[in-house]
């Protein structure tokens, strides 16, 4: 069980062949690495399942390999365009998750288990694309601290908040460590287990998938700001996209300048004492920060929670072009949410 979805193993992967499993999308959500928050957002899981499946279906038609098998409706596996009702279960191929060895004494990770020629495993990286740099983007914190330069990002100038980039920035971080950390592409290649061909393909696929998501969102008046992907190598040595993509949880979407990702919930919690304790604990205690936080997150006000629920449902309706949920149009929901930012 994850913080936002459950994973059911139907057939264990072997060293040479993928297994099968199901993602059961829940109404749970998580912010600030806390894990499950006290509220459940109605229909959120179903909305994310459908939207991600829509993008998996489009990628399959373009010949891009993914772990997506289909959606589960009435105990049958169906493609996106075959389902009749909203569903929250996705059937996927499963690969082995091989974790780097953690050394607690010096807080380091040993990735020597990964090597070129490996098959049927999760690549231990999270790949981030950035089409725009909104105010509050982690890029600005890293630039200010000196951990990166604008040249490291492939830019020819110092970026400013709100800047739309001429071409996407590609970023990469660890995936299987206690706290994800950004890497250089050289570091990422070294720990990935990928050969030169698949590592180059990985970068190309990010750009292709980002472009597809961007175009589909624009049809609904939505701006695709940034997002993340995960990859695996299948039993035949082919790179494939895994996990979930193209949703308000994996991407940062804007509609009329308003964030329709989890950012709205994040902004509400940033005003609380709990968030202040989380930030302080992360700075002081590293990997053990959570047990040092004395307070617990409050529940969201019911009207805000209901609007967030409607936001998830309406985004899925708008992008897929199918009226899966009986809810107001995205435009009207955003107008209501904006009232809380005044």
pLDDT, tens digit, 9 for 90 and up, residues 34-76: 989 999 999 999 999 999 999 999 999 999 999 999 999 999 9
Split into its structural domains, the chain has a count of 1
pLDDT at 108 exceeding the cut of 80 = yes
pLDDT, tens digit, 9 for 90 and up, residues 313-337: 999 999 999 999 999 999 999 999 9
- At 259, is the pLDDT very low, low, confident or very high (cuts 50, 70, 90)? confident
Nearest one of 230, 244, 210 to 316, comparing CA atoms: 244
**199 lies in which domain range?**
5-341
pLDDT, tens digit, 9 for 90 and up, residues 142-176: 999 999 999 998 899 999 999 999 999 999 999 99
Question: Which residue in this structure is represented by tokens 């100038």?
Answer: 157
pLDDT at 2 exceeding the cut of 70 = no
The CATH number of whichever domain residue 145 belongs to comes to 3.30.470.20
pLDDT score of 248: 92
pLDDT at 258 exceeding the cut of 80 = yes
pLDDT at 310 exceeding the cut of 90 = yes
pLDDT score of 342: 62
Nearest one of 22, 150, 161 to 88, comparing CA atoms: 22
pLDDT at 190 exceeding the cut of 60 = yes
User: To the nearest whole percent, how much of the chain has pLDDT over 90?
Assistant: 85
Instruction: With both helix axes pointing from N to C terminus, report the angle between 196-219 and 44-61 in degrees, rounded to the nearest 10.
Output: 120
Give the contacts of 123 (CB within 8 A, at least 6 positions apart): 175, 192, 193, 194, 202, 230, 231, 232, 233, 239
- At 85, is the pLDDT very low, low, confident or very high (cuts 50, 70, 90)? very high
pLDDT at 201 exceeding the cut of 80 = yes
- The Cα 318–Cα 310 span in angstroms is 12
């Amino acid at each position: 069980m994850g913080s936002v979805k459950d994973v059911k193993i139907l057939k264990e992967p072997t060293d040479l062949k993928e297994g099968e499993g199901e993602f059961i999308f829940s109404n749970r959500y998580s912010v600030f690495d806390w894990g499950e928050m006290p509220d459940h957002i109605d229909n959120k899981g179903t909305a994310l399942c459908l939207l991600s499946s829509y993008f998996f279906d489009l990628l399959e038609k373009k010949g891009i390999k993914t772990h997506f098998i289909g959606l589960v409706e009435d105990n049958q596996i169906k493609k996106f365009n075959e389902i009749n009702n909203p569903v929250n279960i996705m059937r996927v191929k499963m690969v082995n998750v091989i974790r780097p060895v953690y050394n607690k004494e010096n807080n380091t990770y040993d990735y020597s288990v990964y090597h070129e020629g490996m098959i049927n495993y999760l690549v231990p990286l999270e790949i981030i694309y950035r089409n725009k740099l909104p105010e509050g983007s982690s890029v600005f914190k890293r630039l200010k601290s000196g951990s990166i330069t604008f040249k490291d990002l492939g830019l020819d100038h110092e970026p400013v908040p709100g800047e739309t980039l001429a071409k996407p920035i590609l970023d990469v971080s660890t995936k299987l460590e206690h706290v994800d950390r950004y890497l250089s592409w050289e570091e990422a290649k070294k720990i990935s287990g990928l050969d030169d061909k698949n590592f180059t393909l990985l970068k190309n696929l990010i750009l292709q998938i980002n472009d597809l998501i961007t175009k589909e969102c624009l049809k609904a008046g939505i701006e695709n700001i940034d997002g993340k992907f995960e990859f695996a190598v299948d039993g035949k040595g082919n790179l494939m996209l895994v996990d979930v993509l193209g949703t308000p949880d994996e991407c940062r979407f804007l509609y009329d300048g308003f964030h329709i990702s989890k950012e709205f919930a994040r902004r509400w919690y940033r005003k609380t004492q709990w968030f202040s304790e989380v930030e302080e604990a992360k700075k002081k205690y590293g990997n053990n920060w959570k047990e040092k936080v004395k307070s617990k997150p409050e529940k969201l006000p019911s009207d805000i929670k209901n609007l967030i629920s409607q936001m998830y449902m309406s985004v899925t309706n708008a992008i897929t072009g199918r009226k899966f949920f009986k809810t107001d149009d995205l435009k009207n929901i955003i107008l209501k949410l904006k009232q809380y930012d005044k």
